[in-house]
Structure formats: C-alpha cells, structure tokens
C-alpha cells in the first residue's frame, strides 16, 4: 500500500496490515530479549516474563504504520499522533526567526498560531512533515526534561526545530520537544533535503510533544482536546482563518 495513490472516488486498494517496526527499536528489543532469555535460562521466571513483555512493549512503541496523506497544497497535516493540548497565539522561536548567517530567511516575526500535540508512551512516535518543501533549518537545543504537556516546555526542554520552505516561498516551522521520559530526539532529515507532505522526518523516544507554528493568516482546523493522526489529520488550511467550536462527548 505504501506510495499507492488512493482517492475519494474509490480508486486504490486498502487492506489491513501489521505495522512495520522502525530500526531504532532493534537494539533496545535485542538487549531486553537477551536479558529475558538469560533470566529464563537461570530459571528466574519473575524476571524473565517482565523482560519478555518489555520486548513486546518496545516493538509496540517503535511501530511505524503506513499513513495515507491528503495531497493538497492548502493542507497542513499533523506531524505527530496524540492529543491537541495547546492552541495559542505566540511568537515563533527565535531560532526560526533570526538571521542564522546562511542567507536563508526565517519565519516572519509576530504572533502566529501554535498547535501543540502531546504524545503519550502509547502513541506512535514517528514524526512526519506537516507539508512538503525543502528543509532550510534543523536546530537542536539541549535543555531540561520537564513534563512536555506544560507550556514552558517549548522554551526550557530539550528540543529540535525544523524550518520547511515550499517552492512558492511559504515557510512553516515545527519543533520536536522531549518530555519527562523522552531522552533522545532523532532526526531523519537534514538541511537541504526535500520532504513530501506526511514524510517521516524523525522520532522522539518515550513520550513527548510536537509544536507547529502556522503561517500568518492561518488558524487551526483542530480543536483543543482532539486527537490527531500523524500524516493524516489536516490541522490547518493554508490562508484560512476562522473560528471553530466543538462539543466533547
């Protein structure tokens, strides 16, 4: 099914399949598996069984399912699975605004809408590009490991900023933020790479958050409290600014 074209007229084939496991899981699963086997060999069942279940948990955490991304130049899609915990008007991070000496323009200063998506340890942790273009900046910043659900985590926690620019010059910034348990941010792309809308761009190990900074004049199409699916949920229509109301059931 990967890279197959599907549409709203019924074209294409859609079948259920087991999600693949990202290679980042291999070393962690191998360590837990060897430890489980060793414990079983010495008849330490009280240790062998939990370690065996840990192997399954690691594989589940690093699962990497196929996603079907709507293809429309107006759509900005969710970069992460998880819960929309914050939607605020904020200044973009200075690392995405300031002149970095490369000659590449950053984001324009001034308040924009920031959408924060919180990932629990049960969510898929593969992050995806919110829209297609060229990666102009990748900026890693060491920091603390506070609860990623807090507003100040965007300024205090370990994080990694991305700036993607489309061929028409529209730019969007987004940030991977480590949390209480997350201790490692991994990028799959680098500056100068071209990415497609919904393409895998990185992961954060063991619970975290991703912030998206929408372009000026664009508002959120998701609601606080809504769950998102990375690469599939449309979180904004470029250039559309409107109020939305939802009811929790």
Distances (CA, A) of 15 to 4, 66, 184: 12, 11, 33
C-alpha 230/C-alpha 124 separation (Å) is 8
208 is catalytic: yes
236 and 219 Cβ atoms separated by less than 8 Å: yes
- Please report the DSSP string for 98-143 in residue order: S--SSS---PPSS-EEEEEEEE-TTS--EEE-SS-EEEEEEEEE--
Tokens standing for residue 85: 């915990």
- Element containing residue 90 per DSSP (H, E): strand 82-90
Catalytic residue among 36, 116, 154, 208: 208
Tell me the catalytic residues: 208
């Amino acid at each position: 099914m990967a890279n197959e074209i599907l549409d709203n007229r019924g074209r294409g084939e859609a079948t259920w399949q087991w999600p693949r496991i990202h290679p980042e899981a291999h070393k962690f699963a191998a360590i837990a598996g060897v430890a489980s086997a060793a414990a079983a060999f010495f008849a330490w069942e009280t240790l062998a069984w939990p370690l065996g279940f840990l192997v399954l948990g690691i594989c589940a955490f690093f699962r990497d399912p196929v996603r079907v991304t709507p293809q429309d130049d107006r759509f900005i899609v969710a970069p992460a699975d998880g819960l929309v915990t914050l939607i605020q008007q904020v200044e973009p991070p200075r690392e995405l605004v300031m002149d970095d000496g490369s000659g590449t323009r950053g984001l324009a200063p001034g308040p924009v809408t920031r959408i924060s998506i919180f990932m629990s340890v049960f969510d898929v942790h593969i992050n995806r590009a919110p829209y297609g273009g060229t990666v102009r900046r990748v900026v890693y910043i060491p920091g603390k490991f506070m609860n990623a659900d807090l507003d100040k985590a965007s300024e205090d926690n370990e994080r990694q900023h991305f700036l993607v620019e489309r061929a028409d010059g529209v730019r969007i910034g987004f940030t991977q933020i480590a949390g209480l348990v997350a201790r490692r941010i991994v990028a799959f792309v680098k500056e100068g790479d071209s990415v497609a809308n919904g393409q895998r761009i990185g992961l954060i190990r063991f619970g975290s958050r991703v912030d998206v900074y929408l372009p000026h004049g664009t508002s959120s199409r998701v609601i606080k409290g809504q769950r998102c699916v990375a690469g599939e949920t449309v979180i904004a229509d470029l250039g559309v600014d409107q109020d939305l109301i939802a009811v929790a059931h």
